[in-house]
C-alpha cells in the first residue's frame, strides 16, 4: 500500500505531464525550491565559519571576482604576485612581458618555472601614470587590473597574490634553566646571554610567546587547556620545583639532557639512539647512520649561529627575507634567529653531539645544517600597544615567495632534506586557492625530482583535513611528507590542570591537524603535562633556543645593542614547547639517517620507506587520524627499497 506522500507525488507528476498545473503554481514551487536551496547554502556557510572559528585560524580565501568593488584576499600582499608558467619554463623575455602587463620582475626561479612580480613599472613616472588611470583607485583595484593583464599571457598557467605564511604555532613555551652553569662550550657572551639561575618562568602563547609577568621563584604558570590549541589565559597553580628550578638535572655537561634525563624523549622515540651513546639503548639506528655528510635545510626563522648545539653542524647561513616587501620592526632580516622557532626546530633535526657542544642531541647529530631564513619575527597584539610589547609577543611569519625561493636555494645547495615547520591553510573553492596549490606543488615536486626529501608540519588547528575544500600547504603539496604530532608514552597526554606524568599509549596530540588526505606519518610534538622538574619526564619537547644577536640585550633591533631572542622569554638557550613544528624536524632527522645509510636511495624511496615502516600502537585511533603510524628509523633502515 502506497503512502499518502507517494500518491501526492505521483499525482503532481501527472498534473505536470497533463498540463493541469498553471504557471502561477509552477512559480510558487520555484520560489519554494529557491528558498530551500538558499537556506541550505547558508547552513553550509555557517558550518564552515563555525569550524574555523573553533580552530581559531582563518583560511586563505579569495572571491576571484573582478567586477564590483575589489578586495584583497586574506593574508595576501598587495602589489606582489606569483606568476606560474606552463611547462615549468619562465620565458626568456619575461621582464618585458611583465612590463607590458603593468608589472615588473622581482625574482625568477627557472628551476620551478615561477616568477615573482610587482605591480606597476620600476619608474616613478609609470607608477604615477598607473595610479591616475580611470578605475584604479586603490591597491585592490590596481591588483585586480594587473592580474587580468598577467593572465592574458598564453604561457601563464596561474597568477596569484603572494601570501603570508607563518610558523606553525608553538602552543606552550617555557625556558629551560639548568641547575648550574655548564662546564663546556655552553656559555656565550652577551648582555643578556647568561642563564637565569633560579625561578620557573613558563608562559602560554603563540609562536611568539605572549609571556605574562615573571612570577615569584617557584611559581609555574599553566594555560587552561581546551579542545583547540590556541592560547588560553594562564594562572598559577601553586608552587613547586618547576621546570629549570634549582634541582639537580644532570644537564650541566655536553649532551646532558639526552644522556642524564628524559628530556630528549622525542629524539629517542623516532630512533635517535645507538652507537654506544649513553641515555638510550646501546645499539640502534645510529649504529648504521648518524647522518654524516647529509645536508638538512631548515627553512624557518633562522638559527642562532653561535649556539653550541647548532654551530658545529652549521654550513650554510643565509636569508631570503626582503624587508622592502614585508617590513618588520621586530627583526633585522639577517640569518640570525630573532624568534627562537628556527633554532628549536634545527636542534631537533640535527643538534650536535660530543665534547664542547650543548645539552641536546638531534636525531641526525652528524648531519650538516643549512640555515635558510624565510620567516621573521612580526608584531602582534592590539594597535594601541607599543612596539616593544607587540614584538615581545610576535610570531614568525614570511612570504610564500620567500619559502619557494628557499626551497630553490636548498636544492641548489644540494640539500638532502628540507624541513618546513610552517604553513598556510588554503580554501580551494576560491579564485586563487588552486593557484597557490599549484605554486607549492611546482616547487616541492621539482625538489623531489632533484633528490631532496621535503618534510612539512601538518599544523596545529585540531582540524580534520578530510574536507576536500581545505588543504594545508606545504604539508599537502606534491611529494611532501606531512607529519602530525604524537605524544610521549612515558607522559601520557592529560589536559587536566595539575596532572602528572603517567605511562600510557602514544596518541595523536589534541591540537594536531589530521586526516587521511595528509598521507603522512606521526612524530613527537608533545602535549600536557609538563613534568615535575628539569630532570623528570615531560610531555613537552625540549630543544635549543636563540640568544638573539651576539652581544645584545633583549629589545627592538633599532640599534646594534638590542635584538629579540627566544619567543617571548628574552635571551634563552633552551626551551620546552609543543606543536607539529617539533614533529617535522624530528621526521626530517630520520630522513637524514636513511639518506646517510642508503645514499643511493632517491627521495621517493626514502618517503616510501618512512611511510611503510611507520609503527602503530594501541593508542592509534584510526587510519584517518594517524595515517601511516609513527615514524620509526629502526624499522625504516631494515627495508631494502629500490629507487624509482
pLDDT single digits (tens) 276-286:
999 999 999 99
Residue 22: what pLDDT? 57
Average the pLDDT over each of 218-222, 244-248, 385-389 and give the range with the smallest value.
218-222
Cβ atoms within 10 Å, residue 218: 16
% of the chain exceeding 70 in pLDDT: 70
Q: Which three cell numbers stand for residue 438?
A: 599549484
Per-residue pLDDT at 82 exceeds 60? yes
Least Cα distance to 371 among 306, 421, 305 occurs for 305
Please give the residue that has the higher pLDDT: either 135 or 424: 424
For 180-218, the DSSP string reads S--SSTT---STT-SPP-S----EE-STT----PPPPTT
Domain 172-637 has CATH 3.40.50.300: no
For 28-68, the DSSP string reads HHHHHHHHHHHHHHHHHHHHHHHHHHHHT-PPB------SS
What does R_g of the chain's alpha carbons equal in angstroms? 26
Residue 196: what pLDDT? 21
Residue 183: what pLDDT? 34
CA dist list (Å): 246 to 199, 254, 310? 8, 19, 26
Please give the residue that has the higher pLDDT: either 222 or 486: 486
Least Cα distance to 271 among 504, 490, 501, 523 occurs for 523
- What end-to-end distance do the CA atoms of the chain give, in Å? 63
Residue 172: what pLDDT? 53
Per-residue pLDDT at 631 exceeds 50? yes
Per-residue pLDDT at 440 exceeds 90? yes
pLDDT averaged over every residue in the chain: 79
| CA dist., res. 325 & res. 338, Å (int) | 19
Residue 139: what pLDDT? 82
Per-residue pLDDT at 66 exceeds 90? no
Model confidence at 430, in pLDDT bands (50, 70, 90)?
confident
| CA dist., res. 552 & res. 549, Å (int) | 6
pTM over 0.85: no
Average the pLDDT over each of 40-49, 112-121, 220-229 and give the range with the smallest value.
220-229
Please give the residue that has the higher pLDDT: either 641 or 567: 567
Q: Which three cell numbers stand for residue 128?
A: 604615477
Please state the rounded mean pLDDT for residues 632-642: 82
Per-residue pLDDT at 237 exceeds 90? no
Model confidence at 5, in pLDDT bands (50, 70, 90)?
very low
Residue 560: what pLDDT? 93
Per-residue pLDDT at 287 exceeds 50? yes
Residue 231: what pLDDT? 25
Please state the rounded mean pLDDT for residues 455-464: 94
Please state the rounded mean pLDDT for residues 211-215: 25
Model confidence at 217, in pLDDT bands (50, 70, 90)?
very low
| CA dist., res. 37 & res. 44, Å (int) | 11
User: Residue 76: is it exposed, middle or buried by C-beta count within 10 angstroms (0-12/13-18/19+)?
Assistant: buried
Per-residue pLDDT at 547 exceeds 50? yes
Model confidence at 530, in pLDDT bands (50, 70, 90)?
confident
Average the pLDDT over each of 161-165, 195-199, 249-253, 489-493 and give the range with the smallest value.
195-199
Residue 44: what pLDDT? 47
Please state the rounded mean pLDDT for residues 493-503: 92
Least Cα distance to 543 among 311, 342, 395, 289 occurs for 342
Please state the rounded mean pLDDT for residues 356-373: 97
Cβ atoms within 10 Å, residue 559: 9
Peptide bond into 509 cis (omega under 30): no
Model confidence at 23, in pLDDT bands (50, 70, 90)?
low
Per-residue pLDDT at 289 exceeds 50? yes
% of the chain exceeding 90 in pLDDT: 63
Residue 59: what pLDDT? 57
pLDDT, tens digit (0-9, with 9 covering 90-100), for 338-348? 999 999 999 99
Please give the residue that has the higher pLDDT: either 194 or 23: 23
Most confident of 249-253, 436-440, 622-626: 436-440
**DSSP β-bridge partners for residue 377:** 396
Average the pLDDT over each of 34-48, 202-216, 384-398 and give the range with the smallest value.
202-216
Residue 74: what pLDDT? 66
Cβ atoms within 10 Å, residue 44: 11
Amino acid at each position: 500500500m502506497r503512502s499518502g506522500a507517494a500518491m501526492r507525488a505521483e499525482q503532481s507528476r501527472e498534473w505536470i505531464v497533463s498540463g493541469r498545473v498553471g504557471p502561477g503554481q509552477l512559480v510558487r514551487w520555484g520560489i519554494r525550491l529557491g528558498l530551500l536551496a538558499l537556506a541550505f547554502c547558508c547552513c553550509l556557510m555557517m558550518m564552515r565559519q563555525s569550524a574555523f572559528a573553533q580552530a581559531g585560524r582563518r583560511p586563505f580565501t579569495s572571491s576571484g571576482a573582478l567586477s564590483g568593488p575589489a578586495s584583497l584576499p586574506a593574508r595576501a600582499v598587495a602589489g606582489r604576485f606569483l606568476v606560474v608558467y606552463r611547462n615549468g619554463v619562465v620565458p626568456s623575455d619575461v621582464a618585458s612581458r611583465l612590463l607590458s602587463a603593468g608589472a615588473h620582475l622581482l625574482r625568477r626561479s627557472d628551476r620551478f618555472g615561477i616568477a615573482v612580480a610587482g605591480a606597476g613599472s620600476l619608474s616613478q613616472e609609470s607608477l604615477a601614470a598607473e595610479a591616475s588611470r580611470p578605475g584604479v583607485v586603490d591597491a585592490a583595484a590596481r591588483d585586480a587590473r594587473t592580474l587580468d593583464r598577467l593572465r592574458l599571457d598564453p604561457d601563464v598557467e596561474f597568477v596569484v597574490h603572494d601570501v603570508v605564511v607563518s610558523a606553525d604555532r608553538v602552543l606552550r613555551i617555557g625556558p629551560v634553566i639548568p641547575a648550574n652553569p655548564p662546564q663546556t662550550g655552553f656559555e656565550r657572551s652577551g648582555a643578556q646571554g647568561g642563564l637565569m639561575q633560579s625561578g620557573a618562568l613558563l608562559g602560554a602563547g603563540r609562536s611568539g610567546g605572549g609571556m605574562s609577568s615573571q612570577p615569584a621563584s617557584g611559581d609555574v604558570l599553566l594555560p587552561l587547556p581546551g579542545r583547540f590549541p590556541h592560547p588560553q589565559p594562564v594562572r598559577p597553580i601553586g608552587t613547586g620545583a618547576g621546570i629549570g628550578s634549582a634541582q639537580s638535572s644532570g644537564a650541566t655537561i655536553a649532551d646532558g639532557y639526552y644522556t642524564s634525563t628524559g628530556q630528549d624523549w622525542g629524539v629517542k622515540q623516532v630512533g635517535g639512539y645507538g652507537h654506544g651513546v649513553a641515555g638510550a639503548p646501546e645499539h640502534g639506528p645510529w649504529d648504521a647512520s648518524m647522518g654524516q655528510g647529509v645536508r638538512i635545510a631548515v627553512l624557518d626563522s633562522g638559527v642562532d649561529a653561535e649556539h653550541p648545539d647548532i654551530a658545529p653542524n652549521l654550513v650554510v647561513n643565509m636569508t631570503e627575507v626582503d624587508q622592502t616587501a614585508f617590513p618588520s620592526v621586530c627583526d633585522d632580516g639577517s640569518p640570525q634567529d630573532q624568534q627562537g622557532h628556527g633554532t628549536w626546530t634545527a636542534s631537533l633535526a640535527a643538534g650536535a653531539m660530543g665534547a664542547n657542544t650543548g645539552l641536546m642531541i638531534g636525531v641526525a647529530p652528524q648531519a650538516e645544517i643549512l640555515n635558510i631564513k624565510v620567516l621573521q619575527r612580526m608584531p602582534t597584539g592590539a594597535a594601541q600597544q607599543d612596539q616593544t610589547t607587540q614584538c615581545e609577543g610576535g610570531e614568525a611569519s614570511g612570504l610564500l615567495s620567500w619559502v619557494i625561493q628557499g626551497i630553490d636555494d636548498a636544492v641548489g645547495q644540494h640539500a638532502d632534506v628540507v624541513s618546513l615547520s610552517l604553513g598556510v591553510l588554503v580554501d580551494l573553492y576560491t579564485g586563487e586557492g588552486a593557484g597557490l596549490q599549484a605554486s607549492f606543488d611546482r616547487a616541492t615536486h621539482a625538489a623531489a625530482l632533484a633528490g631532496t626529501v621535503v618534510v612539512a608540519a601538518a599544523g596545529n588547528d585540531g582540524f580534520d583535513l578530510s574536507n576536500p575544500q581545505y588543504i594545508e600547504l606545504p604539508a599537502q603539496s606534491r611529494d611532501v611528507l606531512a607529519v602530525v604530532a604524537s605524544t610521549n608514552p612515558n607522559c601520557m597526554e592529560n589536559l587536566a590542570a595539575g596532572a602528572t606524568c603517567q605511562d600510557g599509549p602514544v596518541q595523536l596530540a589534541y591540537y594536531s591537524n589530521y586526516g587521511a588526505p595528509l598521507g603522512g606519518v606521526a612524530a613527537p610534538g608533545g602535549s600536557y603535562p609538563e613534568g615535575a622538574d628539569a630532570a623528570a619526564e615531560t610531555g613537552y619537547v625540549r630543544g635549543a633556543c636563540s640568544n638573539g644577536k651576539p652581544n645584545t640585550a633583549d629589545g627592538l633591533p633599532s640599534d646594534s645593542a638590542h635584538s629579540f631572542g627566544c619567543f617571548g622569554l628574552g635571551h634563552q638557550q633552551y626551551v620546552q614547547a609543543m606543536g607539529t613544528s617539533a614533529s617535522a624536524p624530528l621526521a626530517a632527522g630520520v630522513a637524514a639517517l636513511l639518506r646517510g645509510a642508503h645514499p643511493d636511495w632517491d627521495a621517493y624511496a626514502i618517503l616510501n620507506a618512512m611511510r611503510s615502516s611507520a609503527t602503530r600502537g594501541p593508542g592509534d585511533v584510526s587510519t584517518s587520524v594517524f595515517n601511516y603510524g609513527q615514524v620509526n628509523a629502526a624499522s625504516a633502515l631494515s627495508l631494502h627499497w629500490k629507487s624509482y
